[in-house]
Structure 1
Amino acid sequence: MKHIAKAVALAVLALLAPHVVFADYITDAAQALKNAPVYVAPGTEGTDKDTAGKLQERLNKDDNIVLVMLPAAAESSLGADITTIASRLSEELGNRRIIGLAVGNNVVGYAPTLPAGVAADQMRRARSVSNDPVTTLGTFVQNMHIWQRENPQLNPPPLDSPEKGGLSWFVWLGIAVVIVLVVIAVLAVVASQETESSTEKTRFRAPDQVKELLAKIVRERWQIKDSELKDALYQLCVDIERYFSSSSKDKKRDSLFFRDRLNEVAQVLAKYADVQDNPRYYTNWGEELQRGKESITDFSEYVLESIRRGSAEDLFDFRVNTNILQAQRYR
C-alpha cells in the first residue's frame, strides 16, 4: 500500500511539475514587467546584460507594449507552445498589454486589446526581415508603432469595462474631458512649432547662400527626436548669424567656408534622420546616431569658441575632415 501511495505521489508530481515551472516563468516575467516594459530571463541565449536596455530604447515612453525573452529550454519544460505562454502572461497582466514574446528562437505577438491576429502578423513580418530574436522584437515594436499610427481608431486604450464593475459614467466623462484637453494641448504645441519654424526660416541675418542653408537646417531639425541635438542645431544657426554680425572680417571668404560646412551638416542631418527612422537597416544604429550627434555638436562648439576668440583666421583654417563633423565618413 505504501509503495502504491508513493507511486501515485510521484505521478502527481510529474504531472504538476511543468505547471509549477510554468507558473515560475510567468510569475517572474509579470513581476518584472511591473517595473520595466522589458524582461529578459537569466540564461536566455543570445542575450547579455545590455539586451534589455537596447530593447527598451525601441519603446516610446507611453507605449502599451512589453517585450519578454525566455530561454529555449522554457518551452519544452513548460509543456506548452509559445502562444499559450503568451496567453497566460497576458492574463497575468490583465489582458491590457501588447506582448512581444521570444522563447529561444521562437517569437510571437499577442494583444487581446487589438483586432484578432494583428500582433501575431506584425511579429511574423518582423521575423521575416530579422536574423535573431532580439532584432525581431525590436522590429516588432517598430511595426506596431506604424500600425498604431495608421489605425488609431482600432487601437483603444485598455480600460476596464463598466459592465464588470469598473468605471462609472462620471469617471468616463472625466476621462473624455481629459482626452479633449490633451488633444487641444497637442494641437496648440504643433501650431506653435509650425509658427516658430516659419519664423526661424527668415530670421537669420547672413549672406544669402549661408542664410538659405541655415533656414534648411532649422526646417529639417524638427524631424530629429533627440531634443539635445535639436537644440544644438538651432543654437548653431544662431551662433553663425552672430558670427557674421560681430566677428566676420571677410564675409565673402567666410560665406564660402560656412556654405561648405553647412552642406556637410545637412548631409550628416539627413543620414542621422535615416538611421533614427530605419534602425533595423543598420548593424550598430545606436553608435551611428551617437557619432552623428557628436559630429554636429562638436562643430557647434567650435563655432562658439571661434566667436569668443574673434579669430577669423582660425575659423578659415579649420579642417572638418579631421576630428570634427567628419561628414564624408558618416554618409
Structure 2
Amino acid sequence: MPIKLPDNLPAYDVLAREGVMVMSDELASKQDIRPLRIALLNLMPKKIQTENQFARLIGATPLQIELNLIRMSEHRTRNTAAEHMRSFYRPFSEVMETGEKFDGLIITGAPIEHLPYEEVTYWDELTQVFDWTQTHVHSTFGVCWGGMAMINHFHGIPKIDLPAKAFGCVRHRNLAPASPYLRGFSDDMVIPVSRWTEIRREDVQAAGLPILIDSAETGPCLVEDAAHRALYIFNHLEYDSGTLKEEYDRDVASGTPINIPANYYPDNDPSKPPQNRWRSHAHLLYGNWISEIYLTTPFDIDQIGASRTDLRNR
C-alpha cells in the first residue's frame, strides 16, 4: 500500500520516480480503510530533503500512510522557501488546538547541538510537544538531537560534548535481536553518525532504559522508552547515500575543521562516490516501527492516549 501525500509536495514526484507507491488525497479518499496518521515534526534546515528521506522509509510498508508535516509555531526557517512552508506545514500550536491525534510522530534532529537545551529559541514549545505526545500520539520516534532532547526531558539524561565530531559510517551491535523493532536485523551493521554530542551508556542504563543498538566507538544508538511509548535513535539511518558527502563538502568549503567521514568513501578517498551500506537496515527499522504501530494502535484514533500501556501490550 502507498503513502498518501499531497500531489504537489516535492516528495511525491521524487518517490514516484524511485518506485515508491504514492497516492494522492483524491485517490486515497476512495479507499474504505483507515490510513495510519504519521506526523513529521521537521526541525532540520533542509526541509524538503528531510521530508524525502523519512517519506521514503515509512512509505515502503504494505500499509497506507497519511503524512502530516508540522513545524515549530514561531520559528522561521531560512533554508526552505516560505511558500513551501505555507503550503505543506502546520504550526504545532494549530495542531494542538484542534485536538487531533496521530498514530506516530517523528521528531527530527536539528543542527543546534552546541546550545544548552534551555537556550534553544523554541525549547518551551518543544517540551510542550513532548508532553502532548503522551495523550495524542501512539508512538514517537526521536531522531538524533530530537531523541537526545526527548530523553533529557523525560529522564534528565544529559547530552555530552565530544572533543571531535563523531562523523562517518560506524559499526554497531544488535543487542536485542528478539525486539520487534529489530526483526530481520543482522548481528552487526553500519550506521551513519554525524554529531558533536553523545548520550552516555551508563546514563541510559541508570534510567532503566534498554539499549537496542549500541556501538563500542560511538555509544548507544537506539533506545526504547516503553513507558513513554517512544524510541530514540541518536544516529542517521534515514540519510541518503550522499548526505554525509554534502556535510563534508560544506564544511571543507567553509573552512570548518572536519575529518573525512570514516569508512564512507572507498579507500577513504573523497574523490570516489560513497557507497550506501545502511539502506536495508533503515527500511527494516522504520518498517518494523510502522508494523508495531499498526498492530497496537486503536482502530478508533480518538482512543489514542486513553491508556498509557506498553506499546507492545496488545
The TM tier, using the shorter chain, reads: under 0.3
Please identify which structure carries the higher strand content. Answer: 2
Instruction: Using structure 2 for the length normalisation, give the TM-score.
Output: 0.24
Indicate the structure whose relative CO is greater, using CA pairs within 8 Å and at least 6 residues apart: 2
TM-score for the superposition, normalised by structure 1? 0.23
Structure showing greater radius of gyration is 1
More helix by share: 1
